[in-house]
Amino acid sequence: MKPTPGLRRQIIQSLAIMALGIILIAVFGSYVFYAIAVAYMPGSISETWMPSRVEMVWIACTIAAALGMSVFVAIRLSRRLITPLNSVAHSLREVAQGKLDARAPLDEQAMGEMAQLVSDFNAMAERLQSMTREREFWNAAIAHELRTPVTILRGRLQGLAEGVFNPSNELFEGLLRQVEGLNRLIEDLRVLSLKDSGHLEVKRVNVRLAEELNTVLQAFAAPLAAKGFHLQHELDANLLVVCDAVRIRQALMALLENALRHANPGNLRVCLEQADGLVQLSVEDDGPGIDSRLASDIFEAFRRGDPSRSRKNGGSGLGLAVVKAIAQAHGGHAICRPSGLGSSFVICWPAGT
């Protein structure tokens, strides 16, 4: 849309043109009128203070022309001022009543600031609507994630209370796993809500990150080996990194958990390196990889690759969102890129901060 001049300039311009027009009619028009009257109707001009009939007609015509011009300018101005204002006011009322899809039509005639007001209002309504949609989606997704473990817990506990199930270690371990899953879901939600409110704090200190990450790799070595993964790691042991080691360990755990849940058994490479002022931590698997259309979105909360497979393999759908939140809290970012048949998840952040 071409930029329209400012409201104040347009009002001054219109009023100045109108005043000029009226002066032209009144002053120059009179000259012309008298010139014609003197030349063609010499007797028609009054010699006293009372205007003659012809002069009265001339005065009436001048008043009518001036009035016409002012009405024309007033209508034009009000159309450009009041119409967008009214449409914003109308849509505002609708939004206030809960109709979040209300939008003010953008009239081509709307002037500078008015056009800006309309488009700002529409942008605000759009944002409000998408935030509401997002909140509804989050509520539904969280309720959905809570339902399964709570149903299982309830069923098993009820069975125990009624004597249908015999108390056994296996049963209690199963219950404990459900509670741990719930606990993790709550912790992930907490991290994400802290991030959304800008309160996800990272305690940045200088650490030998390789040592920290090794403890995570050791904890995962057995379950990975049991599933047939071959863990390879290239961690620069001398690298001193400024970061919150607890959070980075949490991110690595989420990525390794994902490999366990979603990747095909095979090689799993974990690398930590520093290049071009960026610290890079990557976890790379051998497949099945992530659809390239999904790769940019996969870090959004509750976004899953193959839904049936992901659901079967469990997980709250928040793992990668937490990874992204941790990377961003370090002033960096997280990406997923294809690597051979599999995918590589990379977290990087500036080395100096």
Is the peptide bond preceding residue 288 cis, with omega within 30 degrees of 0?
A: yes
Beta carbon of residue 245, minimum distance to ligand ADP (angstroms, whole number): 21
Beta carbon of residue 319, minimum distance to ligand ADP (angstroms, whole number): 2
Asked if 343 touches Mg ion (CB under 5 A), the answer is no
Residue type at 331 in one-letter notation: G
Asked if 258 touches ligand ADP (CB under 6 A), the answer is yes
Asked if 305 touches ligand ADP (CB under 6 A), the answer is yes
Cα separation, 195 vs 112, in Å, equals 38
Contact (Cβ atoms closer than 8 angstroms) between residue 209 and residue 248 = yes
- Near Mg ion in 307-336, by CB under 5 A: 315, 319
Q: Which residues does residue 206 pair with via DSSP β-bridges, in sequence order?
A: 242
User: Apex CA 315: angle with CA 312 and CA 318, to 5°?
Assistant: 140
Binds ligand ADP by CB under 6 A, chosen from 310, 328, 339, 344: 310
Return the range that interacts with ligand ADP (CB under 6 A); candidates 55-63, 146-154, 303-311, 325-333: 303-311
Beta carbon of residue 268, minimum distance to ligand ADP (angstroms, whole number): 9
Cα-based distances in Å from 209 to 80, 201, 247, 256, 329:
63, 18, 11, 17, 17
* Contact mark string toward ligand ADP, 331..350, x via CB under 6 A: ------------x-------
Instruction: Label residue 314 left, alpha or beta by phi (over 0 means left) and psi (-120 to 50 means alpha).
Output: left
Contact (Cβ atoms closer than 8 angstroms) between residue 157 and residue 151 = no
Residue type at 111 in one-letter notation: M
In the complex, the residues that contact ligand ADP under the rule CB under 6 A are: 254, 258-259, 261-263, 285, 288, 290, 298, 303-306, 310, 315-321, 343
In the complex, the residues that contact Mg ion under the rule CB under 5 A are: 258, 315, 319
